Amino acid sequence: MNRFDAYIIYYLYEHKEVSLEKIGTLKAPASFAPGDGQTAAIEFIYDRKVATSPGLVDFIAEKAAKNKYLITSDLESHFSQVREFINIGKAYELPDVGFIKANKSGILEFLPYSEANKTIRITASTQQAKRPKSNNRSAVQLITVLIVIAILAGLGWEAYQYFSKSKNTDTAITNNSNNNTDTSTVNATNQDTINRVNADSVTAKPITNYSDSDTVNVRYIFETTASELRAQTRTAQLKGFGNNASYDSFINNSTKFYSLFIVKPTKLSDTLRIKDSLAKFFQKDVQVKIAANR
């Protein structure tokens, strides 16, 4: 269980309602309390546009004695991973509350904990009528452990797919010139000729010498923000996960912005495939730029 899940459960117990970013809202009856067996009465409202409850951020920051902005960033990352689990067919478990999973139509549904374990309890009582009640609890705990192991295995496989595999495919490199930093912008449709270079990248290898088989350092820009704190914390978080993440800044209309990116050596023919994979991972549009050689 992720440390945030426990806080989410306690917050639901206390406030009877909690919204999870781009997942949905859980509502509990006024009489709902830990261990009272009323999980079947919990209402789930699926909403891909909902934002995390502001009160949840304050609640976790207070209980964990951590900076509110760091909690906001960590929660965003946590819910992003949860959505990835659900998208690969896994169920997101809130222990002793229930499971959130996608049905065959891709709609998220909530399965109360009491309903999920009803079959197990009936089978156990029929086959082992004289067995102590604590054995039912042991069976539930075993199933929970197996689910957690399956989720972790799925996450590891997805990470491998996103960052390790490299296959030759027909690709196109998307040209984008939102900031005029020390990079060379390219746009290709499986052609050996690349049309455009930023003026600041004069020290780079002549762009016309690149071909689809060339391997270059590519910046995959996944976020632009006006908050330096956001740029620092998000970059540090991704580096902690083993990613080659960084950021730089630029001025637009007298306002300083920060571009967050991952640098990855990439064969030009593979650029669009990796871009699409990262876009799915971050659930954001990703810009592609070739880093200048110095």
pLDDT at 215 over 70: yes
Residue that the structure tokens 């499971």 belong to: 99
Min mean pLDDT across 91-95, 129-133, 219-223, 237-241 is at 129-133
The mean pLDDT of 249-276, rounded to a whole number, is 92
Q: Which residue has the higher pLDDT, 170 or 47?
A: 47
How big is the chain by its Cα radius of gyration, in Å?
24
Confidence label for 292 from pLDDT (cuts 50, 70 and 90): low
Round the average pLDDT of the chain to a whole number and report it: 78
**For the ranges 49-58, 121-130, 232-241, which has the lowest average pLDDT?**
121-130
**Tokens standing for residue 281:** 């991972």
For residue 189, pLDDT beyond 60: no
More confident residue, 18 or 198: 18
Phi first, then psi: give them for residue 8, nearest 5 degrees. -60, -40
pLDDT value of residue 123: 47
**Sequence-distant (≥ 6) Cβ neighbours of residue 137 within 8 angstroms:** none
**pLDDT (0 to 100) of residue 248:** 94
100: how many CB neighbours lie within 10 A of its CB? 22
Cα angle at 41 between 35 and 45, to 5 degrees?
120
Structure tokens at 229: 């704190």
C-alpha to C-alpha distances, 209 to 140, 180, 186, 191, 267, nearest whole angstrom: 61, 22, 12, 12, 14
Quick: pLDDT tens for 122-159.
444 555 545 555 566 778 888 998 998 988 888 887 77
Residue partners of 149: CB distance under 8 A and separation at least 6 = none
- Residue 131 or residue 48, greater confidence: 48
pLDDT higher at 185 or 146: 146
Structural domain boundaries of the chain? 3-163, 172-291
What is the mean pLDDT of the segment spanning 204-227? Answer: 78
